[in-house]
Amino acid sequence: MARKKEQTFEEALSQLEQIVSEIEGGEMSLADLMAKYSEGIKLSDFCVKSLKRAEETMDLLVTETADGVREEELRIGG
C-alpha cells in the first residue's frame, strides 16, 4: 500500500490560490461554488496552522538578548 504524502504549506497555498481564481471567475454552479468554498476553508485552516507551527518553532529557536539575537537548541521530548 502506498503511503500518502503529507501536503506541504506551499502545495496547500497553491491549491487555495487556484480555488480563489476559479471562484472569482464566476462560471460555477452554486453547488460547485459551495464545494470549492468548503475546500478553500480547509486549505486556509491548514495554512494558518502551518504558519503558527513555524512561528512557534522560531520562537523556540531564537531569543532576543541585549547583544542581539542568540540561537538556542530546540529540545523535543523529555
pLDDT of 55-66, one tens digit each?
Answer: 888 877 776 555
pTM (global) more than 0.95: no
Give the count of domains, the chain. 1
Q: Is residue 35 part of a domain?
A: yes
Q: Which domain holds residue 31?
A: 9-53
Q: Is residue 43 part of a domain?
A: yes
Q: What is the DSSP string of 24-60?
A: HHT---HHHHHHHHHHHHHHHHHHHHHHHHHHHHHHH
C-alpha distances out from residue 4 to 1, 7, 35, 71, Å? 9, 9, 23, 34
Percent of the chain whose predicted confidence (pLDDT) is above 70: 74
Q: Is residue 59 part of a domain?
A: no
CA–CA dist 22, 56 (Å, integer): 33
